[in-house]
Amino acid sequence: MNRKIALQLSGVERRYGQGDTVLSILKGADFSMRSGEIVALVAPSGTGKSTLLHIAGLLEKPDAGEVIINGESCGHLSDDRRTAIRRSEIGFVYQFHHLLPEFSALENIMMPQLISGLPRKEARDRASQLLDYMRIGHRGDHRPAELSGGEQQRVAIARAVANAPMVLLADEPTGNLDPETAHYVFDALEALVRQSGLAALIATHNHELAARMDRRVTLGDGLIQEM
């Protein structure tokens, strides 16, 4: 089956100034990922993992090179268009869940859908389906503080895919969890990726989880390298 390229980075460069010194983080990085594929990003701290994820997610602009999401070149787009692509085509999951504490699990998943203009009933129905899929449908009325760490992360994953994005970017999504819970959360994430056909790039220090993904890449000398 010929799966389409969901995310492509071509010749991406990113530099930061520190006084009179220029620090080059990415030096012409190339990378592509197809729909339905899970790729592990395994690299030491300080090598540019977060920078790479921010650029891939259109949160930062590269100094050179191109980012292509679902076939659309994003380098010269307006801020409004970049925001629209982030909202509809990209989902984010972080090490900390960042759920809104005053809202229930169900309402947290509804939020991005309502912002995108989906009618409230449709947003509620999809949020409920995602909670069931993540095996925590019975926890929909609970606020984040009433959920376990694994439950919080599963709600965060469900929220990230609520608008049916093409690309999921995750930065240490199981980093705060014990090994058993981490595997359980990854099982749910993997099943969601396979079922929905989105492409997932997951930064992790957990080599056991990385070994379960389709490919592993790392960062070295400002380039993305296959492991």
79: tokens are 């801020």
In this structure, which amino acid lies at residue 224? Answer: I
Scanning the structure block, which residue is given the tokens 């609970």? 142
Over residues 126-130, the mean pLDDT reads: 94
Over residues 133-161, the mean pLDDT reads: 92
Q: Smallest Cα–Cα separation from 14: which of 47, 40, 38?
A: 47
Give the mean pLDDT of the chain: 91
What's this model's pTM, rounded to 2 decimal places?
0.90
First to last CA, the chain: 24
In this structure, which amino acid lies at residue 78? Answer: S
- Measured between alpha carbons, how far is 87 from 157 in angstroms, rounded to an integer? 15
Over residues 142-168, the mean pLDDT reads: 93
- Measured between alpha carbons, how far is 156 from 140 in angstroms, rounded to an integer? 12
- pLDDT tens for residues 52-65? 999 999 999 999 99
Between 104 and 195, residue with greater pLDDT: 104
Q: Determine which of 13-17, 96-100, 124-128 has the lowest per-residue pLDDT on average.
A: 96-100
Backbone angles phi, psi at 82, to 5 degrees: -60, -40
Q: What is the dihedral of CA 43, 71, 16, 26, to 10 degrees?
A: 40
Residue 138: how many CB atoms within 10 A of its CB? 9
